[in-house]
């Protein structure tokens, strides 16, 4: 991640990295002085001291970052030079903090406490800034082609649970073409059993198979061993009875996800209300037209809902029919709209969609029926996505970007189905973290 061109020809925003590092540095300073107060007890004029301390932290951080140019040395891997610049920025900041203490602009009870607050500030700032870079590296090192290849694997069931079926399953798991999602058995007593960490599903007829396909997000093929051998299933690992699941997210996790969606959206609606107001004023001043863009999208259980966005395009942008967004080069974008799209500020009204329950923070990007019909002509499995709420962000968006062609829409569907089969609260946290990092580092998606 450099501030110059990367392998995709995209530019990173040095100003956003500067803002991020300053904010994290000030937060570290706040934690440091709160720690000293907790260790030493009440401090006279503490509220005033905190304001001075944090102002010095902001000034010192800004000075250190600009002098060292550490915000221009954020890369996909840690190098000595980039690490040295970050250390230099932290050192300059701490010199400013020491000067504040020397001139007694901040009242610290004793010399020992003063030394301790500087050490705590240095340690916390270093840990937080380096950690953020390491997290960014961890996320940006993922190979996009490998992610798409994994999502495009054929979903496969193995018929039977005997020794030959287990042997076939072992071979399939080594394949780069197939994604083994379970065993299938007509024996009801085998339903829910786990053989080598692979769930056994019960199925006796075509109707049950269609139901199973819905739950599993699509079945590409069912493989049959050359001959079935009766007897006890061969198991090299666990062999216990569990409730069959359609993905890694339990019902409790799904309930918790909804609670988190509702709580977080309510908090963010309050926090970002000033930013939303500024965006609304900018749109109105740009062309004096409508601020909000409302459109019908298809959500959970195939039910339509009205999605809310800040308007980024000219009025009647689709007077000639539905069109896919073509990125920054799209002539329909307004001047304000280009800025809002770049930093995804146009998505802020969707916090209300999340609060209402139309959407979740992480899911699949909701589409119009017009385009859904086109997708389903090639891949009817789109309807499997209706099992979950659409999201403000998605796993597919991170790796597939805006879908300006039907081919990209079909690739996005593969990624969305992969998310459906593998989703969990941890998976959601990863998608949200990577979305945040992509926005603050200026990465386009």
Alpha helices in 141-193 (DSSP H): 144-151, 163-173
The answer to which of 56-60, 206-210, 269-273 has the lowest mean pLDDT is: 206-210
Write down the pLDDT at residue 307: 95
pLDDT at 411 exceeding the cut of 80: yes
Confidence band, pLDDT 50/70/90 cuts, at residue 144: low
Is residue 24 predicted with pLDDT exceeding 70?
yes
Cβ–Cβ under 8 Å, residues 81 and 73: yes
Which pLDDT score is estimated for 306? 96
pLDDT at 166 over 60: yes
| Rounded Cα gap, residues 20 and 436, in angstroms | 11
DSSP string over 65-121: HHHHTGGG---SS--HHHHHHHHHHHHHHHHHHHHHHHTTSS--SSHHHHHHHHHHH
Residue 362 has pLDDT above 90, yes or no: yes
Q: Can you tell me the mean pLDDT for 156-177? A: 86
Q: Is the pLDDT of residue 149 over 60?
A: yes
The residue with greater pLDDT, 79 or 7, is 79
**pLDDT, position 436:** 80
d(CA 264, CA 21): 24
378, 371 contact by CB (below 8 A):
no
Using one digit for the tens of pLDDT, what is the confidence trace for 277-309? 999 999 999 887 889 999 999 999 899 999 999
Span 378-394, average pLDDT: 89
Using an 8 Å Cβ cutoff, are 278 and 336 in contact? no
pLDDT for 143 equals 61
Mark residue 350 as left, alpha or beta (left: phi above 0; alpha: psi -120 to 50; beta: remaining): alpha
Supply the pLDDT for residue 9.
34
Look at 66-75, 153-162, 366-375 and tell me which has the smallest mean pLDDT. 66-75
pTM for the whole structure: 0.57
Edge-to-edge strands of the sheet including 178-185?
194-195, 198-202, 178-185, 154-159, 221-223
| Residue 373 CB neighbour total at 10 angstroms | 11
Q: Quick one: the chain helix, strand, coil %, rounded to 5? A: 55, 10, 30
Confidence of residue 148 (pLDDT cuts 50, 70, 90): confident
Between 364 and 193, where is the model more confident?
Answer: 364
The DSSP output letter for 236 is: S
pLDDT at 353 over 90: yes
What average pLDDT does this structure show over 387-393?
A: 93
Q: Return the pLDDT at 84.
A: 84
Instruction: Identify the pLDDT of residue 359.
Output: 96
Bigger pLDDT: 445 vs 213 = 213
Residue 434: pLDDT band with limits 50, 70, 90:
confident
Q: How confident is the model over 370-384, as a mean pLDDT? A: 88
Question: Which span out of 209-218, 338-347, 353-362, 421-430 was modeled with the highest average pLDDT?
Answer: 353-362
92-137 residue pLDDT tens: 999 999 998 888 888 787 888 888 889 999 999 999 888 877 766 6
Average of pLDDT values for 243-249?
A: 52
pLDDT at position 276: 92
Q: How confident is the model at residue 213 (pLDDT cuts 50, 70, 90)?
A: confident
pLDDT surpassing 70 at residue 240:
no
In sequence order, which residues have a C-beta less than 8 Å from that of residue 163 and are 6 or more positions away?
229, 231, 233, 234
Which tens digits make up the pLDDT trace of 329-348? 677 888 888 888 888 889 99
pLDDT value at position 139? 59
Residue 231 has pLDDT above 80, yes or no: no
Average pLDDT over residues 392-409: 84
The average confidence (pLDDT) of the chain is 81
Q: Cα 85 to chain center, whole Å?
A: 29
Q: Which tops the pLDDT comparison, 423 or 132?
A: 423
Confidence of residue 80 (pLDDT cuts 50, 70, 90): low
pLDDT category of residue 232 using cuts at 50, 70 and 90:
very low
User: Tokens at residue 290, please?
Assistant: 């409508």
Residue 302 per-residue DSSP state:
G
Residue 242: pLDDT above 60?
no
């Amino acid at each position: 991640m450099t501030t110059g061109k990367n392998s995709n020809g995209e530019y990173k925003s040095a100003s956003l990295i500067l803002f991020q590092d300053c904010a994290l540095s000030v937060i570290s300073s706040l934690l440091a002085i709160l720690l000293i107060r907790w260790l030493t007890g009440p401090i006279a004029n503490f509220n005033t001291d905190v304001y001075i301390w944090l102002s010095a932290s902001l000034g010192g951080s800004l000075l250190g970052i600009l002098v060292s140019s550490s915000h221009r040395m954020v890369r996909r891997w840690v190098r000595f030079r980039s690490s040295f610049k970050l250390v230099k920025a932290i050192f300059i900041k701490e010199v400013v903090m020491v000067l504040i203490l020397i001139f007694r602009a901040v009242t610290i009870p004793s010399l020992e406490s003063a030394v301790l607050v500087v050490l705590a500030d240095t340690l916390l700032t270093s840990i937080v800034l380096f950690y953020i870079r390491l997290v960014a590296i961890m996320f940006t090192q993922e190979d996009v082609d490998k992610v798409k290849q994994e999502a495009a694997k054929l979903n496969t069931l193995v018929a039977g649970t005997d020794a030959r079926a287990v042997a076939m399953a072992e071979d399939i798991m080594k394949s780069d073409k197939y994604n083994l999602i379970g065993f299938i058995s007509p024996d009801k007593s085998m339903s829910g059993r786990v053989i080598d960490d692979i769930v056994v599903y019960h199925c006796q007829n075509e109707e049950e198979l269609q139901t199973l396909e819905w739950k599993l997000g699509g079945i590409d093929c069912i493989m049959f061993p050359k001959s079935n051998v009766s007897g006890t299933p061969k198991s090299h690992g666990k062999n216990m009875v569990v409730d069959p699941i359609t993905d890694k997210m339990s019902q409790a996790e799904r309930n918790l996800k909804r609670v988190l969606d509702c709580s977080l959206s309510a908090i963010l609606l309050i926090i970002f209300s000033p930013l939303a107001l500024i965006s609304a004023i900018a749109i109105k001043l740009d062309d004096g037209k409508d601020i909000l863009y409302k459109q019908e999208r298809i959500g959970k259980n195939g039910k339509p809902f009205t999605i809310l966005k800040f308007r980024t395009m000219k009025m009647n942008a689709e007077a000639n029919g539905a069109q896919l967004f073509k990125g920054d080069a799209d002539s329909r974008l307004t001047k304000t709209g280009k800025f809002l799209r770049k930093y995804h500020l146009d998505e802020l009204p969707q916090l209300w969609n999340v609060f209402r329950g139309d959407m979740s923070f992480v899911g699949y990007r909701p589409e119009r029926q017009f385009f859904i019909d086109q997708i389903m002509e090639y891949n009817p499995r789109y309807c499997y996505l209706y099992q979950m709420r659409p999201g403000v962000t998605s796993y597919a968006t991170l790796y597939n970007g805006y879908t300006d062609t039907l081919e990209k829409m079909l690739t996005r569907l593969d990624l969305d189905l992969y998310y459906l089969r593998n989703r969990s609260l941890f998976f959601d946290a990863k998608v949200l973290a990577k979305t945040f990092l992509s926005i603050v580092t200026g990465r386009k998606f």
